[in-house]
Structure 1
Amino acid sequence: MRVLILNGPNLNLLGTRQPEVYGATTLKNIEQMCRAYAPEAAINFAQSNHEGVMIDAIHAAKSTQDGIILNAGAYTHTSVALHDALASVELPCVEVHLSNIHAREPFRHHSYVAPVAIGQIAGFGAQSYLLALDALSAHLAKT
């Protein structure tokens, strides 16, 4: 399985940013966890605070990846452009959130990613990424 794990704005600050919400695990720790959990997977792990860079990564994934795991951060709730990029590449995408976005502020309850994702995993902290790897692997195995 070739997978792009793409992380959006402010996720580079994990471990220090609002640990009461996002935990103390860093993005580097999450990358290491994913690689150890799925050593057979070819994981391309990326993070950007810039929407256009994220869109470029999604476009590039069309010809190089089997699927995408996306934690779009705040862009989840605002970016029609990310929605359109995901729809255009036609790769299975699992939407991931460290916190339970449905138990937070009302503006976080809507996702522009969800309609073009095969599913959403939220609220399990860093474990959400491992669950997403399982979900994407299972989806690819049956297609």
Structure 2
Amino acid sequence: MRRHSCFVFLFCGVFLPGILGFPQTNTSIDCDSLLPNYEAEPQTSAPPYIIAVSFDNFEPGNEVQVTLEALGDAGFKGFNLQAREIDGDVPVGTFKITDPNTKGLECHNMTNSAVINANSDVKQKVTTTWIAPQNVRELQFM
């Protein structure tokens, strides 16, 4: 069976404008741009956060632990996390909601294809589980 590679991009990656923290829990999210649907300016400074995965190679159906963690004393109130193929514009795979600070979001008619904040509490770290689908090439978490 062919092994797949998973590339993790930090918040300062190519899609910086699409990676915003937001405090509201009742805010809708644009699944394509990853931006909240309210007035917000994208962060332009270096992000004090990282995205880490439990392993880089996966097979279809594997569960990959994904952690969003603040660096230093910085915290965050909100987030939107998706997995996408490199140069892709739709989410791939699904998330298993295991952290009470997270909730699933339906994008492109796929339940739990993204994970967002479940409350506006300041968080240092949230962890979720991503389930790899069939036929995925190289991907990134955004």
TM-score (norm 2): 0.26
More helix by share: 1
More strand by share: 2
TM-score (norm 1): 0.26
